[in-house]
Amino acid sequence: MLNAVSLNWCVFAGILAGAGIVFYRQAVLHKGYKLLITVGFILIVVYQYYMYFLIHPNLNIESLYFPNFLKGIGHGVLYISLTIYIAKTVPFKHFFQGLCVLSFIRTSIATPLGTAILNRWLKYMEQENIGLLSQNMDQVKEWAPDVSLRQLYDAVSQQTLLTSLKELFGAVCIVGTIFLIFLLSQKFWRKLHSHVRRTPRALKRLKPLRHAKLRMSHHRTSLF
């Protein structure tokens, strides 16, 4: 618990850095917020991949500083960008209602619901993995005479926890990657759709010009 609390300082520093990035892009560069929302989701998914490849028995707390810093940047950029999105798209008379709904979903539904789902999933994986890792451990005194039963149980519990965490982060990485592909493809399909819609209009505009050119060429031929 003390290590988890100390890691929150890295998350807090990342949130401050994310706020600085949003301020620089919005107030100094006067750019849009859609790229920031995408970057926020990408950083959160990068944190999941980082943790997936980082988990091992000899992990120290210093190795967790940078991924938690990235997670803080992603959360800061994403939450502030979504708030700016509401401020620019929702009318003022509905602004506080939209902000309340966003905060309610983010803090009252998403956080406890996501935590409950992940914790339940982790417990299920631990039960499954401890059965798989210990299914061949019979007649302990014959093949491990120098290891006590307590030490053996601690080793199996550690491997079970690490394996379950790795599987859980892997599943979250897959879901996050699918969501990112969907998010990035939306922008591509919108551009493609707008291009397809502009093409018939451009063709309609070109038809009178073609007819005019044909008339001019016909007129010049007749004069010749």
Q: Which residues contact residue 172 at a Cβ distance below 8 angstroms, ignoring those fewer than 6 apart?
A: 48, 118
pLDDT, one tens digit per residue, over 193-207 is 666 666 555 445 545
**Residue 78: is it exposed, middle or buried by C-beta count within 10 angstroms (0-12/13-18/19+)?**
buried
Overall size of the chain counted in residues = 224
pTM summary value? 0.73
Q: Which of 45-59, 89-103, 145-159 has the highest mean pLDDT?
A: 45-59
How far, in Å, CA of 73 to CA of 75, rounded?
6
Position 224 scores a pLDDT of 45
